Structure 1
């Protein structure tokens, strides 16, 4: 640790916690962030990975939330063009569900609730002529196309934490906050690391960004009462071998009035999700069940000409969304908005309830405004025009950046150059560390994973386990052999000093590789 007294201690290393730490550090506040597991270990790596306004939320009259999210889409796309990019969505029209006029009206609102500079607007398409109609059943002749964005969600969290650190914050992963007490106008906070060692730090303001555990942290750790609650809703996704060749994603309407997405994923796969189910179990034990898998397969099969069946699933993941409890009767209808609650019964504590990945930057900005108000210091909002680490590409043009990277390193295989550019952007040179050949990247521990990248992820991005590297800092877990995690874990134990043994649950590896 660099200090024992901080302006702000943030508990929680998901997207909201990392975003708040980044914004606050950039304002000149002294910040410590602690996360009991890896960054983005839970909810923030289990999203549908969309930067979107939430077209379906218009049906719940959430115009303010949709507008705020639509405004944020292009802010984020400009901040990190390596890990985020525009995506066009096709909605086949099922005449037995929402009428065409309603969809057109919704898309008109979606196009005009916020100003667009990067993303094109919506239009109608003839699926009998359009390439997006080829994988669909012949009964779908009419459709609509509109724009949203895609994000590598877990990498977004890591980049926010990196930016916070580079602006002076202390980031402690695998470090739990096990006690928090008010004492003479400040907080005394007990932290316990993975080895079991404890130490105490002080903070003028405590931020509770514990996501699904926000209520537990209030009642069990800080012993503070709150009228606000989060509602835990499980969302599960399945990944299957690529179902089509074109670059469009799909949004499918279903008879239960829910929607699911089918999205091109990791070059060779299609991502299908999500479900919305009330969840009352342990937030760190969430997992897909057979009924959810069957549901996603059945709903996708209503549209694709080739049925999707459970045997097609090569990987799945589930997460718990800590939604702001608005007492909605339907889990799908629970608001995706957020609330920031400042408790001032002594030293101040800010608790974050709800939120979604698209609005994380705005949430963090509003939270940092509140922190500044409490502390009476800080330089003001700054993130709206700032790039994230690796995002400072010339002109924000990823294609030109990739071309220049390949020219500078002609020895890099095309697929590897593409992956490095997407993961690290302008930080790719730092990751390569002066290498002039594949041999200089060191041992190829797994296909496409070289020693230089592993060391970079460990030193710069807090990666401590095979799962950190294969499933959060990347999605290489989908591309390596089934025993790749075991091979990498053994290599880490032999070659990387002080690697923390991960307590993460094992991931399902794809078969047939």
Structure 2
């Protein structure tokens, strides 16, 4: 913690926007504290469709500025973390009764040219009878289009932003909630509460409210203030099935209700399908898919694939609440803008910045604009810096993941190939810190659960704020999807027991010689 718990900036919210703001501001020299009431990315920011995209369908709503801004960010992000983000080709089957081909071609032309592209190829028409993506589809689909966007491991993106913020001097407190904050003597006097009930008093020259679905609750409750803008809570749910196709393209399907559904290769063995758009008025922490949403997603897929699916084929589901910027006249949740507004209240010499809306693709730009506003309010002229900087683990030569992964596997030939690939993909260049000086699997410590060794748990605990099996199996990774049938409960219990014990095999930390242990 900073001296006498005083900071330039207190950031409330450990989702992608909060972590992004903390990183940007800390890199500009501000002393920063971020508090998150749960784990990093434990809500909206781990429940996205995992896409870095401009939002092709937003062109129909004339959101040209938002689409352009998002398209400009795609390649910036892909270069920043090529281990957790990579290009993905999308196939759109043509359904003449939904949108005419000329309209799709116009939309794709705009999508290709609204922003400069260097990494991503442009769009083109395809013959579904000859393209690999046509084989799984019903025979009546003969034409289609293919275009480019990107994929991201959303929860790891949040963690890497928090990690970079910390490495630029920020303090990150998870499982720590803002209870109250009031302006006094030109600063914010805030009280935080840890999960064990203990409290911590801090002072900050400025406060950033990036609480996502809770932005209004923080304003009206903890801060006792109002705002010019508001958020509209919309639930988005996804289902995961066993793999429905063998190629590496994703699909974007048009529905008769004008919504679109994605079917995306996921975790090697699965297909991710989503998302829904449902108005939500309950506790964002308790959001879950319902039967109607599951049936809707299955029926949407069954219009296109030869192989039909039913709710019984669903392996896993997840849901999140999107805090969309409230707009007048937008009755359809799908039509509500995915853009954002930053509201600055500079009263009494203690700035308050509140974030309304946003999407994962534009988080870096949002954080940059937020830090610009906060720096001006605090009298700092620090310059922007994140556009060309890699995230932790992303300093991969030429942003080319495949050669890097091959080299990592060769340098650690004793690692089983799938494990070496997973370490490289999840941690990038930081994978070497995890492995340390180990020269055999025994050097990674005990195997706490299949494929999960103590060295990885040590790294996740000491460098990435993991405190339990849920953090490890479902946010820092999706290993929970890969456990053998009937063993998830036992593996969860084993990992939780390791965290509860609070120590690893004696001497393991020294043997690994990572030098990455930090206090949180």
Short-chain TM bin:
over 0.9
In structure 1, the partner of 2:450 is 447
Instruction: Report if the CA contact (8 A) 2:35-2:173 is conserved.
Output: yes
Structure 1, residues 88-117: CA drift from partner, whole Å, max 9, x if none?
000011111101000000000000000000
In structure 1, the partner of 2:402 is 399
Displacement of 1:491 in angstroms is 2.7
1:413 to 396, 413, 416: 416
Instruction: Report if the CA contact (8 A) 1:28-1:378 is conserved.
Output: no
In structure 2, the partner of 1:297 is 298
In structure 2, the partner of 1:192 is 193
Displacement of 1:492 in angstroms is 2.2
Alpha-carbon separation, structure 2, partners of 1:110 and 1:138: 28
Alpha-carbon separation, structure 2, partners of 1:496 and 1:324: 45
Structure 1, residues 56-109: CA drift from partner, whole Å, max 9, x if none?
000000000000000000000000000000000000111111010000000000
Alpha-carbon separation, structure 1, partners of 2:106 and 2:143: 16
Instruction: Report if the CA contact (8 A) 2:36-2:175 is conserved.
Output: yes
Instruction: Report if the CA contact (8 A) 1:264-1:271 is conserved.
Output: yes
Q: In the alignment, is residue 330 of structure 1 matched against residue 332 of structure 2? A: yes
In structure 2, the partner of 1:226 is 227
Alpha-carbon separation, structure 2, partners of 1:113 and 1:227: 31
Displacement of 1:378 in angstroms is 4.8
In structure 1, the partner of 2:495 is 488
Matches within 5 A, 1:79-158: 79-158=80-159
Alpha-carbon separation, structure 1, partners of 2:327 and 2:336: 6
Alpha-carbon separation, structure 2, partners of 1:225 and 1:243: 48
In structure 1, the partner of 2:264 is 263
Q: In the alignment, is residue 437 of structure 1 matched against residue 440 of structure 2? A: yes
Cα separation, partners in 2 of 1:452 and 1:316, compared to 1, 3 Å: same
In structure 2, the partner of 1:471 is 474
Instruction: Report if the CA contact (8 A) 1:52-1:358 is conserved.
Output: yes
Q: In the alignment, is residue 159 of structure 1 matched against residue 160 of structure 2? A: yes
Moved more, 203-212 or 486-495: 486-495
Question: RMSD across aligned C-alpha pairs, in angstroms?
Answer: 0.9
Instruction: Report if the CA contact (8 A) 1:136-1:304 is conserved.
Output: yes
Structure 1, residues 145-202: CA drift from partner, whole Å, max 9, x if none?
0000000000000000000000000000000010100001110010111111112111
Alpha-carbon separation, structure 2, partners of 1:47 and 1:181: 33
In structure 2, the partner of 1:201 is 202
Alpha-carbon separation, structure 2, partners of 1:460 and 1:482: 25
Alpha-carbon separation, structure 2, partners of 1:287 and 1:459: 31
Alpha-carbon separation, structure 1, partners of 2:153 and 2:48: 10
In structure 2, the partner of 1:427 is 430
In structure 1, the partner of 2:462 is 459
Instruction: Report if the CA contact (8 A) 1:125-1:142 is conserved.
Output: yes
Structure 1, residues 377-422: CA drift from partner, whole Å, max 9, x if none?
2521000000000000011110110111011011111111111111
Instruction: Report if the CA contact (8 A) 1:39-1:157 is conserved.
Output: yes
The alignment's TM-score, normalised by the length of structure 1, stands at 0.96
Report runs of 4+ in structure 1 exceeding 3 Å deviation.
none
Instruction: Report if the CA contact (8 A) 2:265-2:271 is conserved.
Output: yes
Displacement of 1:345 in angstroms is 2.6
Alpha-carbon separation, structure 1, partners of 2:410 and 2:141: 44
Displacement of 1:482 in angstroms is 2.4
Matches within 5 A, 1:318-357: 318-327=319-328, 328-346=330-348, 347-357=350-360
Alpha-carbon separation, structure 2, partners of 1:363 and 1:492: 35
Displacement of 1:494 in angstroms is 2.6
Instruction: Report if the CA contact (8 A) 2:346-2:377 is conserved.
Output: no
In structure 2, the partner of 1:244 is 245
Instruction: Report if the CA contact (8 A) 2:235-2:277 is conserved.
Output: yes
In structure 2, the partner of 1:386 is 389
Structure 1, residues 232-268: CA drift from partner, whole Å, max 9, x if none?
0000000000011100000000000000000000000
Cα separation, partners in 2 of 1:378 and 1:424, compared to 1, 3 Å: farther
Moved more, 54-63 or 488-497: 488-497
**Unaligned segments of structure 2, at least 5 residues:** 505-520
Cα separation, partners in 2 of 1:413 and 1:316, compared to 1, 3 Å: same
Displacement of 1:495 in angstroms is 4.4
Alpha-carbon separation, structure 1, partners of 2:437 and 2:25: 33
Instruction: Report if the CA contact (8 A) 1:29-1:378 is conserved.
Output: no
Instruction: Report if the CA contact (8 A) 1:82-1:390 is conserved.
Output: yes
Alpha-carbon separation, structure 2, partners of 1:26 and 1:199: 25
Alpha-carbon separation, structure 2, partners of 1:225 and 1:57: 30
Displacement of 1:212 in angstroms is 0.2
Q: What is the aligned residue count?
A: 497
